[in-house]
Amino acid sequence: MYATRIGRLFLKAYNNKFEKNYTAREFFEKVFIPLFFDHQKYMMTAGNSPLENPKLSWEDMIKGKKPFETLEQRKERISKMIKKIESEKADASIAIGYGVMDNTAATSGQITSMALVDNKDDIYFSWIGAGLGIGVTGALTILFDHSQLLLDIFEGWEYYRLYLEKIPLMKGNQINTWNGRWIEHRYSQDYEESDPTAGFNPLEATSSGLFNLATISWVDVIFKIAWKIPMNNMMGYLYNIGQTNTTIGFIPFKLQDIVRPNQLYEKVFGLPVFLKDRSRITKLYGTAIGLRIACQSGAIGIPAMEPKGLRAFLPTSRGTRKISCKDDEEQRITYNTYLIWILAMLNNEKLWDISCEFAKCLQNYEAGAKKARTDRKNNVDQLLDSFTPKQFIQNLIPIINDEQDIKEYENIGRIVHEMPKDNFPYFNTLIRFQYALLNK
């Protein structure tokens, strides 16, 4: 599995940074196992491996209803695990992400008649790599192919262990969820090197009385990664391991595109407004389709960040939804987010000013109607209801016939005619929002 490659990439970076020369087995035994499994509460599930005891209930043990395993019992399990790795062929019972030997089982996979080399290092690396996955909402884990990011995730391991030890009612086995929460915190602008956990509160109470790690939205963590590591494409491998294994596959994350809406929000509305709105606009991005469906496009960029509710305002052949504006703070942030996402999709900042000026032009045109006449309002409504460039240009004609100065209309007609057809619904919706905001 890909976790093996991530484990190998990480260990190379770890050895370089800390001037070590660990082999995969040495790191597994001296660093990984002591942190993850040589305690009463584990940091990750151990699957069907000898490290796991399926007869024990973690909830009962945490609540004190049943005793935890003793130190001697843990040592015995760890010893059995090492022995099994060294003496048996790799399968799902000892290697993360591998298939089971029974080719009829739900988790069978990677079955071949070829005689493959049984590399023991790959098994150890699979555990190390799996411990570096970032868990996000939607029950997905992401493995990123970036050495510094992996080192920063590793930095959070010791703090997860500290939290598990100092909070008796905290559940274990959530390393991937922890990694997502940790990186979002670690890459925040207010992160304090001298006090790494200052302001960090990733826990939520459950109905059973225990404390759980709240899973983070993919947008929250990817925004922070993109801000910290502003590279164009970062390759991510998305998967889920459970009773059955799910693989989404390799997906490039276009980090420079992902930060673009925030940059535009700050530029258009000003830094003070952006800082005030930032936490709320982040919650809107990526809510329209979800990460799994967004992966179907082959990359994660601006389209994946579409805010929920915007699509209802896009023009269609069945008509368009009326945009009503009111003096409401929540609506202001929502509409601003819609506008900025549309502008980011259009990838042309000039269209912001053009849409504003054209909206004013339409407002002035409608205001020039004689009393008790609705023809100008009808002309504007018909224009803004256009769902194709051709229809938009045709609906400009009645307005042009009423006007003396037609330069602005000719300019907008040329822009609509020359832009890609896929961009027109966004541009027309941008104009409609600008027009509605002017007339609220």
pTM for this model (two decimals): 0.90
Say how far apart CA 104 and CA 92 lie, in whole Å: 14
- Give start and end residues of each alpha helix (H) in 167-307: 175-186, 218-228, 255-258, 260-269, 271-284, 291-294
Mean pLDDT on 64-93? 90
Number of alpha carbons in the 13 Å side-chain half-sphere of residue 26: 7
Give every strand in the sheet of 233-240, ordered side by side: 134-136, 140-144, 233-240, 246-254
pLDDT at 373 over 80: no
State residue 105's pLDDT score. 54
State residue 115's pLDDT score. 54
Cβ atoms of 22 and 11 within 8 Å: the answer is yes
Say how far apart CA 101 and CA 78 lie, in whole Å: 22
Confidence of residue 371 (pLDDT cuts 50, 70, 90): low
Confidence of residue 327 (pLDDT cuts 50, 70, 90): confident
State residue 113's pLDDT score. 59
3-state per-residue secondary structure call for 129-174: HHCCCEEECCCEEEEECCHHHHHHHHHCHHHHHHHHHHCCCECCCC
pLDDT at 415 over 90: yes
- For the record, the structure tokens of 297 come out as 């496009």
State residue 322's pLDDT score. 87
Please return the burial class of 91, using the count of CB atoms within 10 Å of its CB with bins 0-12, 13-18 and 19+.
Answer: middle
Say how far apart CA 179 and CA 43 lie, in whole Å: 11
pLDDT at 101 over 80: no
Mean pLDDT on 60-72? 89
Classify residue 3 by its DSSP letter.
H
> What does the pLDDT look like over 275-286, one tens digit per residue?
999 999 999 999
Confidence of residue 25 (pLDDT cuts 50, 70, 90): very high
> What does the pLDDT look like over 109-156, one tens digit per residue?
555 555 556 788 999 999 999 999 999 998 899 999 999 999 999 999
Angle at 48 between CA 44 and CA 50, to 5 degrees: 85
> What does the pLDDT look like over 279-320, one tens digit per residue?
999 999 999 999 999 999 999 999 999 999 999 999 888 878
Say how far apart CA 339 and CA 261 lie, in whole Å: 10
